[in-house]
Structure 1
Amino acid sequence: MDTEAVIESGGAIPLRYRSSANRIVKSDAFYAWATSARSCELLIQGHVVADTEQARAAMSLASASIMQGLRGRARFVPLVFFCGRHVEYDDELTGGSAMIRSMMAQLLQQHFTNATFRKKEVHLEALEDVDIDIVCELFGWLVRHLPQNMTVTCVLDDVSCYGNRRYEADMWRVIEFLLGLARDESLPPAVKVLATCPAGTVYVHKLFKQDGSAILSVEGLPPMGEELGMLKVEDEL
């Protein structure tokens, strides 16, 4: 699983980058998103000028930690896709289609393992297809058939990896669809969407609410006191 692989590699990430991820999870914006009992959305943007592999890895570590913390907890359905781990041309799990199909598979494995469906209700063969609209429709149908007290948490890690001509359009369709679920007041289960963008891509920014509550800029987070001392030690090593 990608989540386990990301966490296992976390120890190799330098402190200055891990501390950045720590500031994220301790920020007011993240706390509000994480503790909300209602549907909500949050985009975490990194430093545009600090787009390094270490910065990406640190933000992925934060995403993996969120998923690990939600696993096994009653009433939570944690779904995640690590875009940065699926960028090779020979990888079948790349792009927007892979994002929604992966989340669909996770949802089925967690809550519909013993379910049977009528063909008129869903199109399971779409999971092996590339028709994003059909898969999104099926995903939404399944979410609507979850118990009303459930919370579906969708984490899209490092979406900036798909900000190119080949993947961008499909990525936008999937993010817009998930945000649509989060904004649907008629949907009984809560749907919480979190996207991370280490490179600070402005295009993804446009999809999220512009009222100041849905976008968290890492660049604007002040360093914590104990972190400053540790960074000085690291610089001297």
Structure 2
Amino acid sequence: METFQAQLFATLGTHPTLIDDILHIIAHQGDLTSSSHTRAEAAISHRQYLHWCATSNSSELLIQNDPDSTHYTISGVSLFSARFLTSPEDDRTHIRLAWFCSLHDNPSRPPTTTNNPNPPPHPGGAHAMLSAFIIQLLRQLEFEFISWPGIGAWEIQLQALARGELGTLATLFEWLVCNVPSETVLSIVIDDVGRYGTGQYLADMLAVVRMVLALRRSTRGVRCVVKVLVTCSEGVDEVREMFRGEEEQAVVEFGELRVRDWRGGRGGN
């Protein structure tokens, strides 16, 4: 098992750590407008977000449309995501996976941190996102890979992963999620997907969001509670459509949030 896990780490390569991304956002939060700060604070106490956090069932939430996000590397929704990821843990076993699209939309511009002022270039896009999710999950849990259906063709699987084949990455990630213990809450955060909303990243981003939501709604062996949080500073119609249907209260309009929404405990939608 340890050998397989070590081989996966080596094959998937170097990816930014989640803590470095969070530190980058916190260090640059002063670049945001005061209204973006206000909306981030309002979102943290919004009734739909609080319900998403508190429910013991698998659930999903989309927070979209920050009117002050233009021309900023990070936005208010990213600050909100960072605050969720650094919020105190509850009594349940909780694993958090996250990817900040706005920090990884250009391989030539990786984020800097105080601990890593000159980071090497790293890839962006859905392939990098799934690789990061897999690495983050492997760092928090151990898995019995002997039961993985692809173990009989391990070398072929590793070669496909090294090439960044999205289908192979998705299959491995789904298998890992299916083997997360039932008493665990697994939160998956995809922040500011609008940065992947055009060009070369769009189709693969939509495929990954669709796959993650399918895991949350899946009856195909997922035992743990899966909570999906997606944010989007600029709305993407295809993503919004994924949140329609059975969950009528699964969307929060970030741009409509005001101070009264959190100081007075009122919902903003």
**TM bracket (short chain):** 0.7 to 0.9
Correspondences of 1:61-76 after superposition (within 5 Å): 61-69=79-87, 75-76=93-94
Correspondences of 1:15-164 after superposition (within 5 Å): 15-47=34-66, 49-53=67-71, 56-69=74-87, 75-90=93-108, 91-112=121-142, 115=143, 117-118=145-146, 119-120=151-152, 123-164=157-198
Name whichever of 3-12 and 80-89 sits farther off: 3-12
- Deviations along 1:189-217, one digit per CA (max 9) or x if unpaired, are 01111110011222210122334221111
How many pairs align?
Answer: 224
> Cα distance, 1:70 vs. partner?
5.5
> Cα distance, 1:142 vs. partner?
1.1
- Deviations along 1:115-170, one digit per CA (max 9) or x if unpaired, are 56332387455443321111111111111112111011000011000011210000
> Cα distance, 1:2 vs. partner?
0.6
The change in CA–CA distance for 1:65 and 1:225 in structure 2 (over 3 A counts) is closer
Instruction: For 2:89 and 2:138, locate their aligned partners in 1 and report how far apart those are by CA, in whole Å.
Output: 15
- Amino acid in structure 2 at the alignment position of 1:218: F
The answer to whether the 8 Å contact 1:63/1:157 transfers is yes
Which residue of the other structure, out of 26, 29, 32, is the alignment partner of 1:7?
26
The answer to whether the 8 Å contact 1:21/1:62 transfers is yes
Identity of aligned pairs, percent? 28
SS of structure 1 residue aligned to 2:199: coil
Name whichever of 83-92 and 128-137 sits farther off: 83-92
- Deviations along 1:78-100, one digit per CA (max 9) or x if unpaired, are 00000000111444321111111
Other-structure match for 1:176? 210
The answer to whether the 8 Å contact 1:51/1:198 transfers is yes
Instruction: For 1:214 and 1:14, locate their aligned partners in 2 and report how far apart those are by CA, in whole Å.
Output: 26
TM-score calculated relative to the size of structure 2? 0.75
Other-structure match for 1:231? none
Name whichever of 210-219 and 120-129 sits farther off: 120-129
Instruction: For 2:135 and 2:159, locate their aligned partners in 1 and report how far apart those are by CA, in whole Å.
Output: 12
SS of structure 2 residue aligned to 1:22: helix
- Deviations along 1:161-194, one digit per CA (max 9) or x if unpaired, are 0011210000011001000000014521011111
The change in CA–CA distance for 1:133 and 1:54 in structure 2 (over 3 A counts) is same
> Cα distance, 1:20 vs. partner?
0.7
- Amino acid in structure 2 at the alignment position of 1:21: A
Other-structure match for 1:234? none
SS of structure 2 residue aligned to 1:133: helix
Structure 2 gap segments, 5+ residues each: 1-19, 109-120, 264-269
Name whichever of 197-206 and 172-181 sits farther off: 197-206
SS of structure 2 residue aligned to 1:51: coil
SS of structure 2 residue aligned to 1:3: helix
Structure 1 gap segments, 5+ residues each: 228-237
> Cα distance, 1:10 vs. partner?
2.4
- Amino acid in structure 2 at the alignment position of 1:44: I
